[in-house]
Structure 1
Amino acid sequence: MAKVGVPDGRWVSTVRLGPKSQIVIPKEVREMFSLGPGDTLLLMADRERGIALVDPEVYAEVMDNVLGADHRPDGGSE
């Protein structure tokens, strides 16, 4: 897929929902973020702003403050 007019470190792409309503993250994006099978992403959705997939560690402190440390499967340990 050609990357025309997009600054380095950014990617623009369309994805299609498959038969099980799953998406495939483009290879270039997986490589950009070193994503592989078994990695976890945090999905955030807002009717007005859309959907975002992010590294859950980036938002761990915020989620701990909002939900409490016990919301994590590991009980909140880092």
Structure 2
Amino acid sequence: MINMNLKNLRLHHKLTQEEVAYEINVSRQVIAKWEKGESTPDLGHWQALAKLYKVTLDDLVNFDGEDTNLIVPPKGKYFFGVAKIGERGQIVIPKKARDVFYIKPGDSLIILGDEERGLAIVPENMMNEFLNLVKSPLHKEDE
């Protein structure tokens, strides 16, 4: 899994083994061994790789996209899995998503839609914080 994450990220970023090796100050052969699973990076190299690919260290090491054919998500981006819609339109938000976004029972969620891009679910408190940030000073004076 770790070796596949390294290879998939390199290919996704359209980098050669030589380019990755140069960026983190190792030889191309070292990169090849990591990608084959013959050896693993030390902590300093893990950190350099996570920074290079803009992913979290945890995801770089632990992400398992085998079932979904996904690569390690960029830092701050998540794939929480699939939720099925119930007969009355209800969905269950995965626990990890609830934990990351501090969603608890009784919270309100805003459902946004774009016919070309799909649906988005945003906690109401996060939307309110965003709207407060984008209010122009002109509007505040009008109140």
Q: TM-score under structure 2 normalisation?
A: 0.37
Normalized per residue, the structure richer in helix is 2
Q: Which residue identity does 2:119 align to in structure 1? A: I
> 2 CA distance for matches of 1:52 and 1:31?
17
Unaligned runs of 5+ in 2: 1-61, 65-71, 136-143
Unaligned runs of 5+ in 1: 65-78
Q: Secondary structure at the match of 1:53?
A: strand
Q: How many residues align?
A: 63
Q: Which residue identity does 2:86 align to in structure 1? A: G
> 1 CA distance for matches of 2:100 and 2:117?
24
For residues 15-58 of structure 1, the C-alpha deviation after alignment (integer angstroms, 9 at most, x for no partner) is 11012211111000000011001111211111111000113314
Report the counterpart of residue 69 of structure 1 in structure 2.
Answer: none
Q: Secondary structure at the match of 2:121?
A: strand
Q: TM-score under structure 1 normalisation?
A: 0.62
Report the counterpart of residue 73 of structure 2 in structure 1.
Answer: 6
Identical pairs, percent: 34
Report the counterpart of residue 21 of structure 1 in structure 2.
Answer: 89
Normalized per residue, the structure richer in strand is 1
The equivalences for 1:1-78 within 5 A come to 3-4=63-64, 5-12=72-79, 13-54=81-122, 55-61=126-132
Runs of 4+ more than 2 Å apart: 6-10, 58-62
Q: Which residue identity does 1:56 align to in structure 2? A: M
Q: Secondary structure at the match of 2:108?
A: coil
Contact 1:40 1:56 in 2 (8 A): no
